[in-house]
Structure 1
Amino acid sequence: MSRSLAIDHVTRHYDRGDFLALLQRSVAMPTESQEPARLPELQSYLQDFIEPLIAPMDFVSHVYPNPVAGNGPLLVASRIEAESLPTLLIYGHGDVVRGYDAQWRSGLSPWEVVVEGERWYGRGTADNKGQHLINLTALQQVIEARGGCLGFNVKLLLEMGEEAGSPGLRQFCMEHRDELSADVFIASDGPRLSAARPTVFLGSRGAFNFELRVDLRDGAHHSGNWGGLLRNPGIVLANAIASLVDGNGQVQVAGLKPAAMPESVRRALSTIELTPSSPGDPAIDPSWGEPGLTPVERVFAWNTLEVLAFKTGNTDAPISAIPASAIAHCQVRFVAGCDWRTFIAAIEAYLAEQGFPDVRVRQSPGEVLYASRLDPDNAWVRWAIDSLERTTGKPCALLPNLGGSLPNDIFADVLGLPTLWVPHSYPSCSQHAPNEHLLGSIVKEGLQIMAGLYWDLGESGQDVRGEHHENTGLLTVS
């Protein structure tokens, strides 16, 4: 069996409708991790759907309770051919966001796959059931095509709480580090750069949320009697924010910006262009953000400070009064190489220098999403790009990291793995929204891409592993 015949094998699987039937069974399971009452469905997805799916591939699997009580379980499965062979770790999540049944367009349901032309509608089709099922299906087809021998070992980690912030995942991976040990991590989540362009990304930006608050007095005071006599907390806070980030979106606090952009990152982004992927996409503001950077560099290789919400007084029913307080909820999206633990001190010091002693700064509740990135010059990256381009005949988009955030640092830092993400969705998939969907063309190409990757891993994985160990290129912050 040759590489091309293996790809033909998985293509026929798609053309027969076998993958669509599998996806329909998966989507019918309402695995909403944000709903506590859905815990039985989260357990059932792993035990009654995934385990029977992977058992014929000779996986040995175990479903573990989440180390954080009340959250969805995790599955670890392994398929070991020989200890000397390279080992691949595959990751995915079987939980979904809330269905919002009533908000879907007429004729659609979150718990049923409805095909309309290229679009396959259903909750989880894009995030993440469709994506990890593409990978498992391609693996199954390559095993069959190669007569049951892959030429590498496989481990699988599926969680059921990613949409709730992956509670317990870090602790679980720390406790099961040996069980999850591998040579390379390949998974699928998030969108391609565009529907037509195969994409590989190597990590994600981090996300740090914080609050700015000004409390000047108890109660509001009439703006006619006291205007001009009392400081307005809304105005104080607005000016404080304007000192942190100027009117063109440039961050002014040195401690909130990366020291430099690695040359390998700059080279990787030089071939990337941002174009609208659907008619509803907003136009890019070309002069917004850090000067001297391209729009692509600003979103994939730099830090941004965003105001997510700002409140002073009663915004629903304003009255003629000077409010007593003001609050802003803000966020820093940051790249690898930045230590989020220094951000609060940097903001406090800067505001003090700018004359805003009354502005209090505190980290928002919830977990920080860490930044991590594999060096684009890493041997595994070159191998993956070559494989995708051989399969598709298209130039592959290489993103050093997503502009958004994923728990990539857990795999890169805690498990110490080179991380490759090969997404099978696209920017306008309505992920997390009503009418979520996959594109059939991307499903078909995704199956072919993954079949090619798995074939190539069996053929050249040992050589790539050796080259990687000679020059490890992980850049992480924990």
Structure 2
Amino acid sequence: MTAEQTVKQAAAYFDSGKFQQTLARRIAIRSESQRDDRDAELQRYLQEEIGPAMQALGFELTPIANPQAPRRPFLLATKIEDASLPTLLCYGHGDVVFGDDANWREGLSPWELTEEGDRWYGRGSADNKGQHSVNIAALEQIFAARGGRLGFNCKFLFEMGEEISSPGLAQICRDHQQLLSADIFIASDGPRHSADRPTLFLGSRGAVNVRLSIQARDRDYHSGNWGGLLSNPGTQLANAIACLVNHQGQLQVSALRPPAISDAVRAILSDIEVVSSAEGPQIDESWGEAGLTPTERLYGWNTLEVLSFLTGNPAQPMNAIPGSATAVCQLRFVVGTDWENIAQHLRAHLDKHGMAQVEVEVLRGSPATRLDPRDPLVDWALAAMQQTSGKKTALLPNLGGSLPNDVFAHILGLPTLWVPHSYPACGQHAVDEHMLKSIAREGLQIMTRLLWDLGEKGGQLLASHHDYQQGASR
């Protein structure tokens, strides 16, 4: 068969309803990793759905114990056809966030795939069961077209704890580097730039959460008796935050600002337009870094956001000066940011502004990643995606949000390509989560073409990648 014939075969498979049936079974499994009473369901997803599907393609299964969260397991499916062939590493997570059953719209259930027009509703339809199901289906099309072969080696890693920040993922990648070794990484998560435009992104912004707190005294005191005599931690913390990020959302800590946006990245982003939509919030044009477009602010810059702020008793305010105040802030950042020293940078900035009483505690963080957009693998993927879809593909240097891409890019040292099969208004992590059938169908065709090409000319593609990497490092 040819590439075009295999892509048509993929579309016919989707139109037959078989993909929908498979996804419906997977949605029905209540694999909520944030709940302690779903351990059996998490195991069932791997054992009853993923394992048999991968074994049918000739993959060998290797369960990997989670060293940090034993009840949130990993499963590696491996198919080695020839040691001389390129090896692809894929990834997906079968866990989902809370179902929140009671708050879904009437007629919808998080555990039943429901079709309405172009939408398939169900928890995990967009994040991430639907997306990795598309990629498994693409492997199935290649397997059938090539008579039981893929034309490349493949490893597919599944985790069941991504929605609780992927505990253990980095450690298993460090501890099992040979087992997980590969030449290229391709996976699907997150949204497209827009519903009607296929998207390729090369990494993700990093994120680090920090708690700022002031403990002035052990108890609250009457505001009439002590107002003007006792410092107010709420007022002080509000001023501390204001010296970190101003009233227009602009980061004021120079040490945490990113490098200037490069000409190459700026050129890529000039083809992307972030606009308000009827299904999402309206963009505040005057918010964020001055002199940048909304697209540059989202994909090429750093932002400091206040996630929570607590002082006194918000539910029942008392006539009292609170004894303490606390806030959790988050820095979203691009590559080149000195985020690992965020505590020292915040400490120095706060001290400079007379805020020595503010305590700084780093809660958790993950690095930013970005494959060089000039890498030949990027040109290949863009061309294949455009040829298959007939649409100009949106290229994002990195996702605006965060993914555990650093374990694949940094620990395993792989070039990473992400092809999302969702869109911004999918309801991810909210009620009425859904996948668009049109995106799933197009995504299946795109992934089938990418995987076909990998089997046809994977050696050439990787040779050009290595040549470019060596030239760039000189």
Using the TM superposition, name which of 382-391 and 281-290 deviates more.
Answer: 281-290
Deviations for 1:381-411, whole angstroms, at most 9, x for unmatched residues? 1111111001011010111111111100000
Structure-2 change in CA distance of 1:218 and 1:51 (3 Å): closer
> Does the Cα contact within 8 Å between 2:255 and 2:338 map onto a contact in 1?
no
Match of 1:332 in 2: 331
Q: Deviations over 1:238-288 (max 9, x none)?
A: 1111111111111111111112223322221110001234x2421111221
Residues 89 and 155, structure 1, Cα contact 8 Å, conserved in 2: yes
Q: Match for residue 425 of structure 1?
A: 422
Aligned twin of 1:107: 107
Counterpart for residue 218 of structure 1: 218
Deviates further, 401-410 or 93-102: 93-102
Q: How far off is 1:231 after superposition?
A: 2.3
Q: Which residue of structure 2 aligns with residue 384 of structure 1?
A: 381
What is the aligned-residue identity percentage? Answer: 56
Contact 1:375-1:474 within 8 A present in 2 as well: no
Matching residue's letter, 1:360: E
CA distance in 1, matches of 2:279, 2:6: 39
- Letter aligned with residue 20 of structure 1: Q
Q: Which runs of 4+ in 1 moved over 4 A?
A: none
Amino acid at match of 1:98: F
Contact 2:389-2:442 at 8 Å conserved across structures: yes
* Conserved 8 A contact 1:265-1:375: no
Alignment RMSD (CA, Å)? 1.6
Query: For residue 94 of structure 1, what is the aligned residue in structure 2?
Result: 94
Q: In the alignment, which of 446, 449, 474 is matched to residue 449 of structure 1?
A: 446
Task: Provide structure 1 residue ranges, at least 5 long, that are not aligned to the other structure.
Answer: none
Say which SS state the counterpart of residue 264 (structure 2) adopts.
helix
Q: Distance in 2 between matches of 1:193 and 1:473?
A: 31
Structure-2 residue corresponding to 1:294: 293
Q: Identify if the C-alpha distance between structure 1 residues 225 and 474 changes in structure 2 by more than 3 Å, giving closer, same or farther.
A: farther
With normalisation by structure 1, the TM-score equals 0.96
CA offset at residue 292 of structure 1? 1.7
Counterpart code for 1:395 = K
- Residue 79 of structure 1: CA displacement? 1.3
Are 2:400 and 1:400 aligned? no
SS at match of 2:9: helix
Correspondence 1:276 to 2:276 = yes
Q: Contact conserved, 2:31 with 2:38, CA < 8 A, in 1?
A: yes
Amino acid at match of 2:180: L
Match for residue 439 of structure 1? 436
Deviation at 1:473, TM superposition (A): 9.0
Shift of 1:368: 1.5
Matches within 5 A, 1:136-285: 136-277=136-277, 279-285=278-284
In 2: Cα distance, 1:42 partner to 1:312 partner: 38
* 8 Å contact kept, 2:256–2:338: no
Q: Kindly provide the CA deviation profile for residues 5-40 of structure 1, in whole angstroms up to 9, marking residues without a partner as x.
A: 111101110111010011111111111111122112
- Aligned with 2:305: secondary structure? strand
Q: How many pairs align?
A: 472
Q: In 2, Cα distance between the equivalents of 1:262 and 1:417?
A: 23
TM-score (norm 2): 0.96
**1:64 CA drift (Å):** 2.1
2:24 corresponding residue in structure 1: 24
Distance in 1, matches of 2:76 and 2:217, equals 55
Distance 1:275 1:289 in 2: 15
Q: Which amino acid aligns with 2:116?
A: E
Does residue 374 of the first structure (1) align with residue 371 of the second (2)? Answer: yes
In 2, are the aligned partners of 1:192 and 1:198 still within 8 Å (CA)? yes
- Aligned ranges for residues 335-374 of structure 1 at < 5 Å? 335-364=334-363, 367-374=364-371
The 1:473–1:347 alpha-carbon spacing in structure 2 relative to 1, beyond 3 Å, is farther
Compute the displacement of 1:146 (Å).
2.4
